[in-house]
Amino acid sequence: MVNDILKVLDNFVRCILESNTRVNIDEIIKVCKDRSLKELVNYNFKTSMNYVNNHLDLVVEGLRSIGYTVLDVLVKSKTSLLVGVSEGFLKEVFEIGLIWDTILGLPYIPGSSIKGALRSTAVKSCLERTNNQNDRLECILSALRITGLSESPFISDELDYIKLYIDCKILEQRIRNELKNLQSTGTIGLIFIADSYPVGTSDNSGKIINPDIIAPHYDENVIDEYSVSPRPLPHVSIKPGTLFRIIIGVKPQAERYARKLARIIFGRELSLNATILSLLALTLQLGIGARTTKGYGYFDLVSFNIVR
């Protein structure tokens, strides 16, 4: 199961080493990439997905046993998905990677990526759904208490967006005061999100890998795609219709902060679990992973189960 996937790398290297040395190296690499692409696209991941589904059952039970309420959510990719493009598995082959668990033999979405996307969605919604500056600050602080609080919780793009709505110096001071009250330099938050793995396909084929390509812009003088500079980059992505399980452990202490979020973001009172699920549904609509502005990483929420 796992070794079959690792063989893709081995076969790629062997393909290059065993090729005719008289042939142009670029042509050799192209042929070897095409072979690796076909291997992955035709691979059936059912055995791995069945195994990881059992593994995730254990994660749910483990979280429940230590006091978390567990939201066990099934989602389906609406579009192709890219995660870990700059460092993931197969970057050595295709130059564009895909994050991969070489033990379980599957690509996955890191829990930290989902949590970061959830936080970004919450912060963006806090800014957009009220004009009251104090409500915006309280909403953002509530989002950070749920997802994790630190002295520098935002990436540069988030800060640029926040600056359009509020004074970041005031927000930074509020964060410092919050950390001082907690006598901490940072918190991990009141929710835990496990790494999310594919557990099935909507067509029951077991095939989850798509051939994909990043193409340069063409001009009228181009004869074919291999005449372009830079050349198109063939790579792989996760297919639309792939089912993922997202496991979220929620601590009861998050309820007071979730109540503030629900009031401002959704305009009404919601339970703790309903707030987290609604935020997740909103996040799935906005996209997770790389190239979301190009249409990648969009999901539908299929079903959920609350385990106490």
Q: Over the stretch 167-208, which tens digit does the pLDDT of each residue have?
A: 888 998 999 898 888 878 778 899 999 999 999 999 999 999
Determine contact, residues 206/49, Cβ cutoff 8 Å: yes
Torsion of CA 200, 202, 207, 211, to 10 degrees: -130
Give residue 25's pLDDT: 79
Structural domain including 132 reads 56-83+107-212+240-308
In a domain, 30, yes or no: no
In a domain, 96, yes or no: no
Distance separating alpha carbons of residues 140 and 162, to the nearest angstrom: 10
The pTM of the whole model exceeds 0.85: yes
Give residue 153's pLDDT: 85
Q: Do you know the residue count of the chain? A: 308
In a domain, 119, yes or no: yes
Number of domains in the chain: 1
- Rg value, the chain, Cα: 22
In a domain, 197, yes or no: yes
In a domain, 189, yes or no: yes
Give residue 218's pLDDT: 53
In a domain, 6, yes or no: no
Distance separating alpha carbons of residues 152 and 171, to the nearest angstrom: 11
Q: Which residue has the tokens 């004869």?
A: 223
Distance separating alpha carbons of residues 208 and 46, to the nearest angstrom: 9
Q: Per the structure block, which two tokens stand in for 118?
A: 């959830």
In a domain, 290, yes or no: yes
Q: Per the structure block, which two tokens stand in for 224?
A: 């074919």
Tens of pLDDT, residues 23-46: 777 788 888 888 888 888 999 999
Closest CA to 303 of 246, 259, 254, 224: 246
- Cβ contacts of residue 31 below 8 Å, gap of 6+? 15, 19
In a domain, 145, yes or no: yes
Torsion of CA 187, 198, 238, 6, to 10 degrees: 100
